[in-house]
Structure formats: C-alpha cells, structure tokens
Amino acid sequence: MKSISLLLRVLAIVGAIVAVVGWVATKDKVKEANSKLDAAKKEMVAAQKQAADFEVKHQNAQSKSARFESDLADAKSRVKSGNTALSVAKRETTAARSELKEAQNELKALEAQNTKLKEEIIATKTEVPDSNPEQVREYEEKIADLGDEIDKLKDRLAKASAASATAAIASPDVIATTTVSTPSTGSSADAVTSRPVVRLASSGQKASILKADTDNGMIIISRGQKQGLQREMEFGIAKGFSTPVRVKVARTAPDYSVAYILPGEGNGSLEEGDEITLIQ
C-alpha cells in the first residue's frame, strides 16, 4: 500500500514537472508567434509604403508621359504651321517677284519709248526748223504723259520691291525655318527663329531617349536647361556603334529637351529608352 502511495506521489511530481515544462514551452511558442506577428505587421507596413511610393511614381510617370506627348503634339503643330506659313510666304514671294519683274520690264519699255520720242523731237526741231508746231507740241505732250506713267511705274516698282523684300524676309518668328528629316517626305519645316548654330560646350554627355517619334523626326532626350542645353543647339547623338545622328534643339525644359533630326540623317533606329551620348 505504501508502494502504491509512493508511486502515486512520484507520478504527481512527474506530472507537475511535465506541466511546468509544457507551460514554459507554450509560453516560448506564444512569444515566438508574437514576434513573428510583429515582424509580419512591420513587413505589411513596409509593403504598404512601397505600394504608396510606387503609386506616386506611377502617377508622376504618367504625368511626365502626358507632358512629353503634349510637347510632341505641340512640336508637330508647329511643324504643320511652319509648313503652311512657309507655303504662303513662298507664294507671296513668287507673286511679288513676278510683279516686280513685270514693273521693271514696263519701266524699261516706257523709258525706251520716252527716249525715242525725245530723239524724234530733237530731230524735228533741228532737221526741220519750219516744222509744224502742233506736231512738236503733240510729241511734248506724249513725253509729259510718258513722264507721268514712268513716275507712277517707279512708285509701283518701289512698292513691288518692298513687297518682295518683305515676303522674302517674312516674320522671323514664323517663316525663318529649319528643316527636319521625315521618312515620308525627306524633310519638313518647323517654325523656329533662324539663329547662328549653337554648339555643345563639351562632348560625352550621357542621356536617354525619353520619347521618340521618328515618323515626324522628333525625339525627347533626358537633358535640358540644367545640363546647359538651349534652343537652336545642334549636336550629334551616338547610340552604341551606330552612325551618329545630328539633331537640333527646338524646345527645352529644366530636365529634358525636344529635338529635331536634321535632314539626311535618317533616325539611327532611335527608340524610347535608348541610352545615348551627346557629341559635338
């Protein structure tokens, strides 16, 4: 009986020990689970922050892409306006030059006729002293009329010359053009003011193509006013081992520029995302 009682006590003690060990193990597991839960919460917060940052970057990228599209559309519109203005100016110049040439020919003919009449009057007065005064007066009236016509024609000639010069010079902000290469026509006109070519301060600037519209010969590059680029600047674009393509800047922003591919340059297979080098 005593053995059974002793055995039961031993079992009770062992059970208590097992219970304590189990409680300690469970407590450690709960602590570990709480730690994992805290870590998971931190990861979730970080993931949410990354998602928010990505959304902001995505919106910024969309905004920049929309701005690039707007810049390209504006450039295309300016090209179209430049072409239209150039065509009008050419027609006006041709018409003015035709008018000028016609006036010059008429003036030359009238001056020749005037000279001939004067010679006839002199001949009449010197060779036939007793000639009819009415005939002399008639000649003199013709000369006077011719003189009036010549004066009017000279005035017309001056106006035609001025019109021709004006049409040829036209408005420097609209007609002074630079041509850009396009696959369909070979070249098109952009309404930009004609100025001396501006060169890069130094070669070797690295950049990338942010947007490419090679059908219209236009690209947007990741270099702008902050990097020293300015309107009318002309330089080459080197892409890998491809033949460099020369371009001219039409518009600049702080961190990018819209440029036109110059005539006869092709497009060098330029595409959005290309890494390029700016050269002299």
32 vs 85: CA distance, rounded Å: 78
What pLDDT was estimated at residue 183? Answer: 38
Q: Which DSSP helix (H) or strand (E) runs through 205?
A: strand 205-213
Q: Does 193 score more than 50 pLDDT?
A: no
Using a pLDDT cut of 70, give the percent of the chain over it.
56
pLDDT category at 174 given cuts 50, 70, 90 is: very low
What pLDDT was estimated at residue 232? Answer: 86
- In this structure, whether the domain defined by 177-279 belongs to CATH 2.40.10.340 is answered with yes
pLDDT category at 268 given cuts 50, 70, 90 is: low
Nearest to 248 by CA among 156, 203, 184, 181: 181
Using a pLDDT cut of 90, give the percent of the chain over it.
3
Ranked by mean pLDDT, which of 104-113, 177-186, 207-216 comes out on top? 207-216
pLDDT category at 277 given cuts 50, 70, 90 is: very high
What pLDDT was estimated at residue 104? Answer: 76
Nearest to 71 by CA among 266, 226, 256: 256
Average pLDDT over all residues of the chain: 71
What pLDDT was estimated at residue 47? Answer: 73
Reported pTM: 0.41
Residue 64 in tokens: 């920049």
